[in-house]
Amino acid sequence: MDLSDHPLAGLLNRPEQLADRIGIEFTEVSPGRLVGTLPVSGNRQPYGMLHGGGSVVLAETLGSIAAALHAGPDRVAVGVDVSATHHRAAREGLVTGVCTPLHEGSRIASYEIVITDEADRRVCTARLTCAVLQRPPGT
């Protein structure tokens, strides 16, 4: 999916950021749902499985972008808490993260991110909470 015309393309496609370096690609950006993929290849731990940190980076990236969408142009969203439960190993292919809101308030936004493998088996369940703040002057 080409998201280059999306209003937040600048947030989604930023070279030299961690999400770009590990291969995260956004496949859906819509109100109430953000979806992205991560290749297992290049993001494995020594036992050949997807590194748990890769799952957390995917989850935090999706949740942070969702919170930025919620915050709007005059505010910023910053992560304050992330947790992840790793259910099973992924050894090849792509994993897909689906981010949906749990709560989107004026000061706090929380998201659930479910990461599955190509057989649609749950690999990881994560939760991200972001503080929604006024945009600092000059940013």
User: Annotated catalytic residue: which of 16, 25, 28, 60?
Assistant: 60
Residues whose CB falls within 8 Å of the CB of residue 10, separated by 6 or more in sequence, listed in order: none
Short-list 43, 6, 51, CA closest to 21: 43
d(CA 121, CA 27): 19
d(CA 127, CA 125): 7
Q: Is 60 a catalytic residue?
A: yes
Neighbours of 128 (CB within 10 A): 27
Kindly list the catalytic residues: 60
